[in-house]
Each structure stands twice: as structure tokens, then as C-alpha cells.
Amino acid sequence: MIDFRNQEVRIKYLALPFLAFSILLLWNQWRISNPDTALNTAREYLEAQFPGSKWELGKLASVGESLGKKWRLEFSSLQKDGRRIQANLLVSRWMPEEIVGRFVLILSPPQIMDGEWNKPTFLEQISSKVSRHGFFLIGILLLALQIFWLHRMHRRGMFRKSDGAVLAVLGGAVMLIFAVLEVHPGFMIAYPLILTLLGLAAGSKGGEENVRENE
């Protein structure tokens, strides 16, 4: 059993920061998996650039990996003169309020109305060099390190502030990898709860908290 009355240090240095960061990542996971914000961003841009035009969504797809994930949206509209206009837009999935690429073309005869493709950021270039298997292996290694640290705490029989910081940082890194890999939301919710409970329980003897702050 976990005696929560004697868990002030663990709650302050492990549970609160880790759960707060986990909630932030869960919210961002919903943002990158839900295209609604990206659709609104695209429609606001098209309505501002071409007032009065009615746009039909032809294609919505997820492209890219890691930190370079984007929504690809293809729209079409009919001008007053009967010419069809097409718009291909790229919206960042991590920041769905940002259009990172656009190409708008009027057909018959072709006329480019707007076009610009932003270069990938430094973080996107770095993350693109790591495959999904690479991210998965990093996550497994971090999980193994967490298990080792919890076992170490249990054998020591005490909890230090540094333990909370290490577990919170490791847990946050694993959650970030989960978000990049877009694992099932149920696992994203279960993992931080399990790690927090294990962190509160490991090293406690008889329900009493044994804390040494300066070691």
C-alpha cells in the first residue's frame, strides 16, 4: 500500500512535474492527430487570399515523420470566369496554425497565384535522420533505465530529490518518443500513471517516507 500522507517530497519532485508534462504531451498528441485545426488554418488562408470563393477539400493526408510531420491538403474552386483553381497546402502537424508550404494555381491557361515552400528546420533535419525503429529502440533503453532506477530505489529503501528528477526527466523523454511515434492514446494515458505509482511505492518501507536531501 502507498501511504500518500508521507509522500510530499515524491509528489513535489516526481508526480507533479511528470504528470504536468505528460498532460501537455497528451494534449499535443491530440493536436497532431486531429486535422480540424489544420483545416481551419487552410480555409482561413484561402478565404483571405480569394474572398468569395467556395473551396472543396479534395484530399487530406499525413506526410512526413518525426518532427517533420505535416498535413497535406488539396482544395479546388471555380472562379467567376469559369476557370478552375487548385490549392495545395502543407500545414505543420506540431503547430497546425502554421502553413509551411503552399502552391495555388489557376488552370486554362495556367497561372501561379501563390507559391512558397519553407525549408525544414534544424530539428526537423536532425529528427529525419532517426528512423521509427531508432526512436523505438531509444524508448526501450529509457524504459530499461527507469526500471533499473526504480529497482535501485527499492533496494536502497529511501527516496531522494534527485530520484524524482531523474525519473521525471526519463519519463518525459519516453512520453515525447511516444508522441513522435503516435502510439495508442490508451498507452499514453496508462504509462504516466503506472510510472508515477511505481515511483511513489519504490523504496517505501512500512508506508513511511525516508528522505535524505543532501545525498
Task: Catalogue all structural domains in the chain, each as residue range(s) with its CATH number.
Answer: 4-33+125-201 (no CATH), 36-119 (3.10.450)
Report CA 47 to chain centroid distance, whole Å: 29
Overall average pLDDT of the 50-54 stretch: 87
Query: Rounded to 5, what percent of the chain is helix, strand, coil?
Result: 55, 20, 25
Cα-Cα-Cα-Cα dihedral of 164, 165, 169, 170, to 10°?
-50
Q: How far is CA 58 from CA 12, 24, 192, in A?
A: 50, 32, 39
Residues 141, 146, 150, 152, Cα dihedral to 10°: 50
Separation CA 62–CA 132 (nearest Å): 16
Give the model's pLDDT for residue 160: 85
Assign 155 a pLDDT band (cuts: 50, 70, 90).
confident
Q: Residues 17-48: pLDDT tens digits?
A: 999 999 999 998 898 999 999 999 999 999 99
Query: What are the residues whose beta carbons fall under 8 Å from the beta carbon of 129, sequence distance 6 or more?
Result: none
CB atoms within 10 A of CB 20: 11
Residue 175 — pLDDT band, cuts 50, 70, 90? very high
- Here the cell at position 1 is 500500500
For residue 68, pLDDT over 50 is answered with yes
From residue 80, give the alpha-carbon distance in Å to each of 51, 52, 186: 12, 10, 49
186-199: average pLDDT: 91
pLDDT confidence band for 158 (50 / 70 / 90): confident
Q: Please, which residues have CB within 8 angstroms of residue 147's CB and are 6 or more apart in sequence?
A: none
